[in-house]
Structure 1
Amino acid sequence: MSREERDMRAGDYVLGLMDEADRARAERDLTIDPEFRDAVWSFSQRLEALDRSAAPEPVAGDLWSRVAAQIADVTQQTRLELVQSDMAAAGAPLTPPDRHGALGLKRPMSGFFRGARGTALAATMLAACALGYVIGQASVTARDPEVVVVLLNEEDVPGALVEAYADDRVRILPLTDFEVPAGKVLEVWTLYDADVGPVSLGTMDAAREAVLSGPDLPAPRPDQLYEITLEDAPRSAAGRPLGPILVKGFAVSPPR
């Protein structure tokens, strides 16, 4: 699975767009696929900023007690237990954790991490993992978008997600299947200055995930307008939106 496919799948899971079978597979993958788990976490964090911008709504008094009751009924399993239960359901033989292979041979280093020597080795490995995590987080932060935008249609239904980066790139993740007739294109716009007017960031010939490299613009900022219109191919001849606005929205800064 490519990174783009994994990110789109993570978006579908977070936004609740999966059917029961796909959701069950995604929740299983969360326990065994760290890259998919990281993609879900990243998508959730970005949407959290949008959630914080919404006005709070009152909830029923018994909501939290019902949520707690449902959580209490869920069986908690470790990742090893989940894998073992899956193997048992498939009829695969289980071997002790210090043995491996179909013959259940003894692992030659199964006792290596026991005692004081094991404590020292575990501490060293933990420190190395922590250093790797910090370096990894630093590299991820460098690629984080400056702003995130949920584009809504006339019924206030999310139609696309936009991530705008400081290097004039924008990532478009359609959340609905826009109809693009022959001879038409989807054109992405932003309005960062009312005196300048709308600026085109690029076009797409279909409603699929894309990364556009727009013109040299100031760094994206919160409350900046973004929208997608339907234009005559290859792009709007006037350099401004001429066709109908399909979705639009205002940018927010994701949490750092």
Structure 2
Amino acid sequence: MADDLSMTAGEYVLGTLDVAEQRAFARRLMTDPGAVALVADWQQRLAPLLLTAPDAVVPADMWSRIDMATRPAANDNQPVWRWKIATVAAALLAVVTSGLALRPRPAPPAPIIAQAPQGFAQQIAALSSEGGSPALLVTYDAGSGRMRVVPVNVSPRPGHSLELWVIAGKAAPKSIGLMPKEGAAALSHMKVDPALDTTIAVSVEPIGGSPTGAPTGPVVYSGKMIALSKS
């Protein structure tokens, strides 16, 4: 099952899921830190391919040729995952040869996520310590400006506060509040530009937060914001 989830996360990043599958997986990202971590891992692994791939004109029949090459025969009784692997492999080939990394397929014209109603998380992040499993799950809705930070596996810090910071691109860390002792943190009037490489981080501070307006203690968790909708 873990391999199936990783495969779906890879297809989600490549844009090869159909509309219904994409919508279902986006819902799963709202509540499953493991799925978020897999998406982040796929993005990190695939992004360098875009930087190394030369510019090229994509043949008009590219996707139809891939579909024909990966479509199972009528009498093929092999498990579904075998042709899914072929689909991902073909998409990866398209990435390397034509610079299509992280772009959705031409059909459908617009991902369903882009038409999500207000209140649907458009960006998400899994915060973790270096090399650790996700400790907090962050969801953000640009329409309402609301951000929610849900603890998943946070180590207690007696006598200290955990302070949240947003780092937009190369800007200095900006405090966005303290984590409550129990439960999730709900933040309003937030602005996160999806065009920037935004990181959410958590530092250990004195009770009540940093006295300087910048992190004074160790940063124990951090994670990149991932855009769920394509613009």
TM-score after normalising by structure 1: 0.45
Q: Give the number of the structure with larger relative contact order, counting CA–CA contacts within 8 Å between residues 6 or more apart.
A: 2
Higher-Rg structure is: 1
